């Protein structure tokens, strides 16, 4: 099996582990105070998966000077955009970058860009916490998902598909980010509270109502509008610019030109005669008519 094959399997396994970390309230019973105490432990358990994902994504195919340079530049841009939008409810312009770069360079690049964007912005902004590993995986999925869309030849149709994907990704991002802290976000005894002993269907309905009133109708909707407008406005030009920088493909050198000898042919089909340079060689007699001896 090729390296890219088992790399994809391992990255998929890490994503499944992260998904289990998100969805634990549906499969494990815990009181809200116990859930709050266990949240940092769950986040800490995701760190090894993040390290493995980073190491495997930067394999021989991805680890090139151009890839590292693009990752550095785009991660810095994404971090700056994310920090600039902090405090503006729901405005996540960084999704525009993740979706377009993931579409241009592939799922692994988009996944890695999502991880690094959150990591860099958290370091610069000081926003590290139990939520950071969850955000890193969620943004990585946003970037990777754009590359997994079907191949579309028409630019307009591709932009329309990416805009629709941006809407879906914006709502799903808010949903999964709400899920990990929902058990201890509200008190007990309400219609949107987590109940440790409740069946799966009841907790699912409570969570749907919770995310609807706290995130979907506000933050997630603003994020979806921002992402869609950005992709429609700058998507065609940005996607073309990103695709012009091809990754992992060294440009082939131009074939060397072989010197061709100049022709010694004279106009009219004649040939140029060169005098012999051999030592002792007699001069060639003139080929023209000899003058007559008669007066």
For residue 129, give the nearest of 89, 181, 51, 173 by alpha carbon.
Answer: 181
For residue 97, give the nearest of 166, 189, 183 by alpha carbon.
Answer: 166
**Tens of pLDDT along 155-171?**
999 999 999 999 999 99
Sequence-separated (6 or more) residues with CB below 8 Å from residue 14: 49, 50, 52, 53
**Tens of pLDDT along 201-230?**
888 898 999 999 888 888 899 999 999 999
What's the confidence (pLDDT) of residue 40? 56
In which band, very low, low, confident or very high, does the pLDDT at 283 lie, cut at 50, 70 and 90?
very low
What's the confidence (pLDDT) of residue 54? 57
Rounded Cα–Cα distance for residues 49 and 140 (Å): 13
**Bridge partners, residue 265, by sequence:** 271
For residue 83, give the nearest of 58, 118, 109 by alpha carbon.
Answer: 118
In which band, very low, low, confident or very high, does the pLDDT at 197 lie, cut at 50, 70 and 90?
confident
Q: Which CATH number applies to 3-244?
A: 1.10.1760.20
Rounded Cα–Cα distance for residues 60 and 17 (Å): 25
What's the confidence (pLDDT) of residue 226? 92
Q: Is the pLDDT of residue 42 over 60?
A: no
In which band, very low, low, confident or very high, does the pLDDT at 9 lie, cut at 50, 70 and 90?
low
Domain locations in the chain as residue ranges: 3-244
CB 89 within 8 A of CB 51: no
pLDDT higher at 65 or 145: 145
In which band, very low, low, confident or very high, does the pLDDT at 294 lie, cut at 50, 70 and 90?
very low
- Here the tokens at position 224 are 């979806």
Sequence-separated (6 or more) residues with CB below 8 Å from residue 142: 95, 98, 99, 102, 110, 114, 169, 173
Rounded Cα–Cα distance for residues 53 and 139 (Å): 14
**How many other CB atoms sit within 10 Å of the CB of residue 61?**
16
Rounded Cα–Cα distance for residues 226 and 166 (Å): 9
In the chain the beta strands, taken as DSSP E runs, fall at none
Q: Is the pLDDT of residue 253 over 50?
A: no
Rounded Cα–Cα distance for residues 5 and 43 (Å): 28
CB 100 within 8 A of CB 239: yes
Q: Specify the range with the lowest mean pLDDT, choosing from 29-38, 50-59, 151-160, 248-257.
A: 248-257
For residue 94, give the nearest of 107, 72, 75 by alpha carbon.
Answer: 75
**Bridge partners, residue 271, by sequence:** 265
Q: Helix crossing, 65-84 with 107-125: angle to 10°?
A: 50
From residue 239, alpha-carbon distances to 122, 174, 233, 234 in Å are: 27, 25, 11, 8
What's the confidence (pLDDT) of residue 142? 95
What's the confidence (pLDDT) of residue 8? 63
Q: Is the pLDDT of residue 251 over 50?
A: no
What's the confidence (pLDDT) of residue 93? 87
In which band, very low, low, confident or very high, does the pLDDT at 41 lie, cut at 50, 70 and 90?
low
């Amino acid at each position: 099996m090729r390296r890219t094959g088992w790399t994809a399997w391992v990255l998929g396994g890490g994503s499944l582990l992260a998904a289990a970390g998100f969805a634990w309230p549906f499969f494990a019973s815990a009181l809200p105070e116990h859930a709050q105490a266990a949240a940092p432990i769950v986040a800490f358990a995701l760190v090894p998966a993040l390290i493995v994902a980073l190491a495997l994504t930067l394999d021989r195919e991805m680890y090139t000077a151009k890839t590292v340079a693009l990752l550095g530049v785009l991660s810095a841009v994404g971090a700056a955009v994310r920090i600039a939008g902090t405090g503006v409810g729901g405005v996540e312009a960084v999704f525009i970058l993740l979706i377009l770069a993931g579409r241009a360079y592939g799922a692994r690049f988009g996944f890695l860009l999502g991880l690094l964007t959150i990591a860099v912005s958290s370091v610069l902004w000081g926003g590290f916490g139990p939520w950071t590993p969850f955000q890193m995986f969620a943004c990585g999925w946003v970037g990777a998902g754009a590359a997994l869309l079907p191949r579309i030849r028409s630019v307009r149709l591709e932009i329309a598909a990416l805009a629709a994907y941006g809407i879906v990704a914006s709502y799903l991002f808010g949903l999964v980010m709400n899920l990990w802290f929902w058990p201890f976000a509200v008190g007990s005894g309400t219609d949107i509270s987590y109940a440790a002993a409740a069946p799966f269907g009841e907790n699912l309905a409570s969570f749907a109502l919770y995310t609807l009133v706290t995130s979907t109708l506000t933050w997630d909707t603003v994020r979806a509008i921002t992402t869609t407008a950005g992709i429609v406005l700058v998507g065609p030009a940005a996607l073309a610019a990103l695709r012009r920088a091809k990754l992992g493909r060294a440009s082939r050198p131009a074939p060397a030109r072989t010197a061709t000898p100049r022709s010694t042919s004279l106009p009219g089909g004649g040939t140029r005669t060169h005098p012999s340079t051999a030592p002792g060689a007699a001069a060639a007699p003139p080929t023209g008519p000899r003058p007559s001896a008669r007066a």
